[in-house]
Amino acid sequence: MYFLFKKSSRRSDIVRGGSLLFQAPANAQNINCSGTVIDESGQPVIGAAVVEQGSNTNGVISDIDGSFSISVPDGSLLEVSCIGYQTQTAQPGPDITIVLRTDAEMLEGAVSVGYGTMKKEDITGAMVSVTSEDLVQLPVNNAIEALQGKAAGVVISTAGVRPGEVGSISVRGSNSINADQSPLVVIDGIVGQSVGLDMLNPQDIESIEILKDASATAIYGARAGNGVILVNTKKGKEGRFTLNYSGTVTLEKIYDRVPMMNAKDYIEWRRWGYYYAGLGPSANEPSIVSDRALFTSYGADETAWGNILRGWGLTWDEWNAMSDSELAAFNGTWDGSRVISTDWTQFTDRIGITQEHSISASGGTDKMNAYVSFGYLDQNGTNIGQDFTRYTLRASVDINPVSWFKMGGSMNGRVADQEYGIDASGGISGNIPSSLHDKARNIFSYALPYDADGNRITYPGGDTTIPTVVDEVGKSVYSRLNYNLSANIYADINFGELWSPLKGLSFRTTFGPQFSLAQNYRYMSADCVNRVSQGQDYVSSNATKRFSWLLDNMITYVRDLGDHSLNVTLLQEASSYLSTQMYNMSGVGVALGMTQKWWGLDPDSVTTLNSPSYNSLTESTLASYMARVNYSYKGKYSITASFRYDGASQLGEGHKWAGFPSLAVAWNMHEEEFMKGIGWLDQLKLRAGWGKTGNYSVDIYSTKNVLETGRVVHGSEGTTEYYTPTDLANNAIGWETTTQYNIGLDFSVLKGRISGVLDLYQNYTDGLIFAVTLPSVSGYDGTDDNVGRTSNYGFDLTLNSVNISNRNFSWNSTVNLSFNDNRILELQSGKQDMVSDNLFIGGPINVLFGYESAGLWTDSAEDLAEIAKFNANGHNFAPGMVRPVDQNGDYKIDSNYDRVILGNTVPKWNLGFNNVLRWKNLELSIFIYGAFDFIAQTGQYQGGREPVIAMNYYNENNKVGAEYQRPYFNTAGGDSYSGILLQKDASFLKVRQISIGYSLPQKWVKSIGLSNVKFTAQLKNPFSIYQGTSWMDSDYYQARTKNNNSSHAGSSYLKGLVFGVNIGF
């Protein structure tokens, strides 16, 4: 379309526009035009768009020599544009030369920096911008997922397999040990307190700016220690009315990188465990007598034992009729292939189907513009019973009745219903049921779901800690209903329009209320696995309400006076947060069951109604003042200084207020006279910044004495209620303060062909907030205090390249590479390690600490001699066991001397590599993501009798090259160091998405009255390029261990296929 060729600062606009061009046929009224496009230095401009002015279909792109040829109607004009240059018009002719001049406006475009905007050339801090085109390039369900791979130093974790879950965001790693690590989210100028980024429909986002260093984030002071994400949503624009529709359908399936052992292999594995425990014969010489002791004596139900007997060629009745002497004399041949192997995931898994629809309308005049959108998402998870439904509504209006006054507002609403699924876990961890898929993988493969009469077996295999997952749909439910509503109301007065001497001076007031309500509901019928022993239905509910508001009053002064540019901002801000919670209203013997889902519990419909066991109310306020000055001279030199003063109610008297200064400078070196002669250099900008930010993530009432209730018996007088303090209040708690240093380089060469940003940073955080243990003689358990210090350092690198750009084909690449590491410098006891918490002076914040593995002991003469030396000191090593590293060489494995830091659980390196290839109207995008240099704590080891993955384990038939030790039937004995093998290399490199899009030709689209139609298809997680541990998907490991701490975390992952369409009216 023609508008795609207008002057733009976005490379994708120009290239995409080129793919939509169609050469108009020549006729008697047309003239043939040819020529060359060059820049001011006489160099050919490759990939310039040469179009007939006013035409949507007639145009070409200059080739490698800058040459072009086009046929246009007589009397028309040519319009020529290219990234990095001003758009030019020219008269067509037989041999013309068109000179494009550098577009300085491309560098001067306004960028949101928080509490206002600045010209790109004046930016001094470390920040990255993501446009709406970048966000919707791939069909995604939430804004957090849309940010994956778009910004160096910004790590987006995978959401996991449960529908409705969103990934977490980390900006430049961890500065604190205990405080929240999430960045501050600001939506249309309103700080998110009761709502977050996940409540927005990606289709409603205009742009996202991520502020990474203190010189950029210090204006948000106390809440900006982990970076700031600025979200600007779409608004109506002056011009004609537009209507847009976007829809996607996603098919997903859960996969396991390695299967569980089938019945035959598991029975053999368990026999080896029995053998190594000295309780039975070798698995190479099985006996039915040993199997009876191994399985029935440890709880195998009748049906499961009957299935094992198939391997011996017997039925349960035949076996039951045999005497002990007949069993001892039984010489049948074992054939494990006759045992039925149950894949329990068939009862829990399904093809997950998600449909999402978004429709938006916008328009406006010079006096008013408006935007409205509605979104609907229905996500059926890959686990049966897990679903998510979301409705979003956004509306905004801006009114400009007179030149000096403007007002407007916006509203974002969301209703989300999340079904967490069947609670067949035997309990709830963190109020959320564990993954049903993982529970299914825990059930014995030799067990069967139904007995001979067709009745469900509650505990297949006889283990009462592993309930069935069969027929639980509707019998056990855990749900959450969320309501979110936020608004933004503003008024803006431009004093310069009222009186010219005040040109550049404006005042803006903004009010932003936010509300959220979360209702949790748990229902279990009398015949679900968790209530089978109680025989009564059970229902419980709880609710959390949050309300917050923010009020900004801001004065801005912006003036350009010749070579001097000044931008001054003064701010007064106040905010309040209120949360009320009601816990554990529950009842048994529910008559109405599911109909009571969100209506509370009616005493008439339950046998027993329990009163709320816990209610709470928390309230906090924050008052702030901020000043920022940006000065620029000749567009070459810029300096930005800011100071924010915050006061938080939850801190103690005398410690509530803190100041957060910042200072940054920038040098646009390419504007210097001595750089003007370098024709291939477009931009070279050096930046340096320093600043302080804060974090006050402490319990709201940690500076107050907390009382606990209890009762004491006074003889015949009965009981008396009393109150006693538990933790000692600490009024001296102050802020965690992070001091940040940043140096950066922005560059662009070859007319935008190659560009990039490099930032190096070093952070120091002081006054870490810890829960400090007090001596028992004090009468208190502990208190919070500011102790400890950390450092955080690394670099971010972004490289963009236009690899190929010609008439019909283009190829663009973006690489984001980041390195981050941190160190603990001090702890609560100064330089003393806190070993029990895995915190060590000089070590990273997130580490695993324990014994290091040297592999497995073998039966070689050398190993047997070493085993004897260890066993002489009280150990019980044997071939096939794990061999821990004896760090001090004393032949004693001692927790004080032989445990070491095994590695970091957070990746040091993160890589994102995105490629976009376009051929005519066809677009292909491939996104590769990797994380490196970290380890994971897995749940796979050879202990106990629970099912395990099909692994390479040591036994008498596999002594060389085994990865895991010999199995042990009893976790209480056997290999004391089996847990050493839980730690695995988690580095990975994978293709996260492959998407393809096709835009219908404009002549087809226009003929049916539309402006654009685009079809898309995407593969999600199609394959891995490298996995440090072959059976684990480390990308999902991080998400799933965070959400549900599954023992099989990381072995399962999702693959998906997405189909989408975008239509513009």
Distance of alpha carbon 718 from alpha carbon 18, whole angstroms = 87
E strand intervals along 115-238: 117-119, 127-131, 154-156, 169-171, 184-187, 190-191, 205-211, 228-233
> Is residue 226 domain-shared with residue 121, that is, in the same domain?
yes
Task: Quickly list H helices, 771-928.
Answer: 861-871
State mean pLDDT over 982-1000. Answer: 90
Same domain as 165, residue 56? no
Whether 282 is covered by a domain: the verdict is: no
Separation of alpha carbons 284 and 266, rounded Å:
14
Model pLDDT for residues 880-923, shown as the tens digit of each residue: 999 999 999 999 999 889 999 999 888 999 999 999 999 988 99
What is the total count of domains within the chain? 2
Of the segments 225-234, 549-558, 598-607, 666-675, which one has the largest average pLDDT value? 549-558
Structural domain includes residue 68:
yes
Does 232 lie in the same domain as 117? yes
Looking up tokens 């689209």 gives 1005
Boundary-marking domain end, from 169, 201, 236: 236
pLDDT beyond 60 at 1044: no
**Which helix (H) or strand (E) covers residue 523, if one does?**
strand 505-524
Q: Which residues pair with 389 in a beta bridge?
A: 378, 417
pLDDT at 26: 40
Residues in the chain, total:
1065
Q: DSSP for 556-592?
A: EEEEEETTEEEEEEEEEEEEEEEEEEEEEEEEES-SS
Q: Is residue 722 part of a domain?
A: no
Is residue 113 located within the same domain as residue 91? no
Taking the alpha carbons at both ends of the chain, their separation in whole angstroms is: 14
pLDDT of residue 974: 63
Confidence grade of residue 195 (pLDDT, cut at 50, 70, 90): low
Per the domain annotation, does 638 fall within a domain? no
Residue 989 CB burial class (10 angstroms; 0-12, 13-18, ≥19) = middle
Confidence label for 588 from pLDDT (cuts 50, 70 and 90): low
- Which band of pLDDT confidence, cut at 50, 70 and 90, is reported for residue 673? confident
In this structure, the answer to whether residues 89 and 163 fall within a common structural domain is no
Residue 1003: inside a domain, yes or no? no
Q: Rounded distance, CA 843 to CA 822, Å?
A: 8
pLDDT tier at 1050, thresholds 50, 70, 90 = low
* pLDDT score at 970: 60
pLDDT of amino acid 1: 34
pLDDT 10s digits, 61-114: 887 678 888 988 888 888 888 766 777 888 888 888 888 876 544 444 566 777
CATH classification of the domain holding 56: 2.60.40.1120
Single-letter amino acid, residue 720: T
Residue 88 placed within a domain: yes
Question: pLDDT tens digits for 854-868?
Answer: 999 999 999 999 999
The answer on 227 and 113 residing in a single domain is yes
Is 222 in the same domain as 111?
yes
Verify that 112 and 48 share a domain, yes or no: no
User: Do 125 and 220 sit in the same domain of this protein?
Assistant: yes
Q: What percent of the chain has pLDDT over 90?
A: 38
Q: Could you report the per-residue pLDDT of 250-277, keeping only the tens digit for each?
A: 999 988 877 889 999 999 998 998 898 8
CA distance 26 to 72: 7
Same domain, 29 and 133: no
Distance CA(375)–CA(371), nearest Å, equals 14
* Residues 97 and 139 reside in one and the same domain: no
Range of the domain at 167: 107-236
The mean pLDDT of the chain is 82
Secondary structure class of 728 (helix, strand, coil)? coil
C-alpha–C-alpha distance, residues 220 and 212, integer Å = 12
CA distances from 908 to 120, 153, 790, 822, 932 (A): 30, 11, 16, 9, 6
Based on the fold, state whether residues 146 and 201 are members of the same structural domain.
yes
Report if residue 364 sits inside a domain: no
Look at residue 3 and give its three-state secondary structure.
helix
Per-residue pLDDT tens for 448-468? 999 999 999 988 988 887 888
The CA distance from 1057 to 1050, in Å, is: 21
Residue 5 has pLDDT above 60, yes or no: no
Last residue of a domain, one of 47, 69, 103: 103
Q: Is the pLDDT score of 190 beyond 90?
A: no
Q: What is the pLDDT of residue 227?
A: 86
750-768 average pLDDT score: 91
Residues 6+ apart with CB under 8 A from 324: none
Query: Given this model, what pLDDT does residue 714 score?
Result: 63
Does the pLDDT at position 430 exceed 70? no
* Selected residue with higher pLDDT from 541 and 576: 576
At which of 103, 118, 144 does a domain end? 103
Report residue 718: phi and psi, to 5°.
Answer: 85, -155
Structure tokens at 546: 């949050």
Model confidence band, residue 176 (pLDDT cutoffs 50, 70, 90): confident
The CATH number of residue 186's host domain is: 2.170.130.10
Domain membership flag for residue 462: no
How high is the pLDDT of residue 522? 78
